[in-house]
Structure 1
Amino acid sequence: MNSYAEYIKTVIGQEPENKLLEASVLYQRSFGTIPEMTYYKTLERMSRQGSLVHLAKGLYYRPKKSRFGAIPISEKEIVGHYTSDGKGIVIGYRLYNQKELTTQISKRVEILSSAISEQKKNINNVCVTYSGVALTQDTIPVIETLEILQNYKSIEDISKSALAAYMREFALGYSDTAAVFVLKNRKYKKSTIAFLERFLNYFGVENTLCQFLSALSSYAIPEMEEFYEPARA
């Protein structure tokens, strides 16, 4: 037992400070031959002793020490764990603000990530949701746009002119293959898909989004006149 505990402490002691450690991933990677109960009891003991910090269920980190005491892991380090190397993207108000659609910002950070073993996880002010699809240069713009359109009515102080400019740029680089792939693997409201289709049709961009919609349904979505001046005869 003691030899197991000492080995666990030694290996974890080599991990960088203030780096998010996922207990289950770390166990599979480095401690597969050690009884699982022993492993988790050792993590609990290390947390009580202060050499580890238990951040959320299954998540730990080695605290960075200063002469004033332990320095808590930062929001930036948590976000980086789930978004670096193409593992995830920021959505919600951080996305809307980044795209200059609103000046509003939220303390809560929302992330879509492939680097999570469950559907959703909350870590302090950070909410991580499983992306469900590979995040690539083709799928990311589609997902970001669908997230924006799905939440359009609830985004505070949204600039319609900024959204109009954003959608014009999105339409220029639109990939129907990527959009169809995303819509087959992530759930979005029919009205959101219809909203995207309306923008694309306005710009004369060919698309097959009708396959996700019903020809018999009428969707409560804005008219393009809200964003663009009607063409003069």
Structure 2
Amino acid sequence: MKSTDYIAYTINRLPKGYVFTYDDFSNKVNSKESIIKALNRMAASGKIEKLSKGKYFKPEKTVFGNLEPSQKQIVKDLLEDNGKIVGYLTGLSIYNQLGFTTQVSNSIQIGKNEVRPQFVRGRYSISFVKQKNTINKENIYPLQLLDILRFINKIPDVTIENTLKRFIEILTKMESKEISNIQRLALKYQPSVRALLGAILEQLNFGETNLLKNSLNPITKYNLKGADKILSTTEKWNIK
């Protein structure tokens, strides 16, 4: 099979919205130049679209135009390294997905142990937040939730009261082992996150919270205006 036929055949078998690079064909096509030319020809003809330098995707076509890949596809090389999870999606896209805001954005935020400067990929601005906890499949969801508490004052188009209501709604559906895990992970977050989580868990009467309480400075105050409208436990956790 000719290299151009192999590339076309491989792309035809890819799911719509899948992002790929030159490397996806290098095991069968020795010439990188041939791959580049073939992909550029296919992009010019509309069979594929270029996301950014060296990155392409197979678009899903609708009556309203071509759909873009999912954000996870767009940054998948930043989320995994040789099959190991090294990052997770967070920020506005996750707040929207979890029902905390209706706002959408062309920015993508990623939590990682080692961060790098912000950059642009296609129409998206990619930024990073430092995550001190181990990142694995089991931890991604609780870390996303803790990030909501971490940036609770920065979530657009929503009040702290409504954010807390939604957060409580989510926690009430979690099992005790999941609650224990989120408490453990919170220990590597800022004191304000630990205090707010402790106040929420105590409000819900979700077992022991001494792990969080003992990690806090008893004289530090946390300014989270509006939290006391939802939580009756704010004074005990020095939240004002």
TM range (shorter): 0.5 to 0.7
CA distance in structure 2 between the partners assigned to 1:196 and 1:65 by the alignment? 44
1:228 partner amino acid: L
Q: 1:109 touches 1:127 (CA, 8 Å); kept in 2? A: yes
1:209 counterpart (203, 207, 212): 212
CA distance in structure 2 between the partners assigned to 1:79 and 1:126 by the alignment? 11
CA distance in structure 1 between the partners assigned to 2:4 and 2:97 by the alignment? 46
Unpaired segments ≥5 residues, structure 2: 76-84, 234-240
SS of aligned partner of 1:49: helix
CA displacement, residues 50-108 of structure 1 (integer Å, 9 cap, x when unaligned): 34533124421245789xxxx64x23x3336479xxx99764334434554444x1332
CA distance in structure 2 between the partners assigned to 1:44 and 1:181 by the alignment? 48
SS of aligned partner of 1:200: helix
CA distance in structure 1 between the partners assigned to 2:111 and 2:158 by the alignment? 26
Partner of 1:225: 228
CA displacement, residues 109-134 of structure 1 (integer Å, 9 cap, x when unaligned): 536599xxx97874423748699623
Q: 2:183 touches 2:212 (CA, 8 Å); kept in 1? A: yes
| Fraction of identical pairs, as percent | 14
Partner of 1:46: 38
1:218 partner amino acid: T
Partner of 1:96: 95
Q: How does 1:44-193 map to 2 (within 5 A)?
A: 44-51=36-43, 52-62=48-58, 72=66, 74-75=67-68, 77-79=69-71, 81=73, 91-103=90-102, 105-108=103-106, 110=108, 122-125=121-124, 127=126, 133-136=135-138, 139-140=140-141, 142-172=142-172, 173=174, 175-179=178-182, 182-183=185-186, 188-193=189-194
After superposition, the CA RMSD in angstroms is 4.5
Please state how far the C-alpha of 1:153 moved relative to its aligned partner.
Answer: 1.0
TM-score (norm. length: structure 2): 0.59
Please state how far the C-alpha of 1:45 moved relative to its aligned partner.
Answer: 0.8
2:49 partner amino acid: V
1:165 partner amino acid: K
CA displacement, residues 128-183 of structure 1 (integer Å, 9 cap, x when unaligned): 869962334x751x223212111111223323443332233344335244225645
1:19 counterpart (3, 7, 17): 17
SS of aligned partner of 2:70: helix
The structure richer in helix per residue is: 1
SS of aligned partner of 2:13: coil
CA 1:110–1:163 in 2, change beyond 3 Å: closer, same or farther?
A: same
CA 1:167–1:16 in 2, change beyond 3 Å: closer, same or farther?
A: closer
SS of aligned partner of 1:50: helix
Partner of 2:200: 199
Q: 1:110 touches 1:127 (CA, 8 Å); kept in 2? A: yes
Aligned length: 207
CA distance in structure 2 between the partners assigned to 1:43 and 1:190 by the alignment? 51
CA distance in structure 2 between the partners assigned to 1:163 and 1:199 by the alignment? 12
Q: 1:194 touches 1:221 (CA, 8 Å); kept in 2? A: no
Q: 2:186 touches 2:193 (CA, 8 Å); kept in 1? A: no
1:196 partner amino acid: L
2:147 partner amino acid: E
CA distance in structure 1 between the partners assigned to 2:2 and 2:111 by the alignment? 33
CA distance in structure 2 between the partners assigned to 1:178 and 1:24 by the alignment? 40
TM-score (norm. length: structure 1): 0.61
Q: 1:146 touches 1:193 (CA, 8 Å); kept in 2? A: no
SS of aligned partner of 1:14: helix
Q: 2:18 touches 2:73 (CA, 8 Å); kept in 1? A: yes
